[in-house]
Amino acid sequence: MYMKDVIVQNQIGLHARPATFFIQKANEFKSSIWVEREERRVNAKSLLGVLSLGIVGGASIRIIADGTDEQAAVAALVKLIESGFVE
């Protein structure tokens, strides 16, 4: 299991479009991936799960992955969040 904390950089947080980009990236990996905020953990590959966390800009979240490509998965998702979802 591999995890890393990250601050959401974009102003609107993980809502609608950014959440869709996040989930698409998470689905590129075989590992099980979760997003955790304030003691709540959801599947990072689930749009409803991610949206249910109500992640706003400036929020601290933890990305957790478990599987064969866990480090690559966490690194890619952290990079996406730190970029403010600019590809």
Catalytic residue (one of 4, 9, 15, 57): 15
For the question of residue 1 being annotated catalytic, the response is: no
Task: Give pairs for 55-58: CB < 8 Å, separation 24+.
Answer: 55/8, 55/13, 55/14, 55/15, 56/8, 56/12, 56/13, 57/8, 57/9, 57/10, 57/11, 57/12, 57/13, 58/7, 58/8
Q: Which residues are catalytic?
A: 15
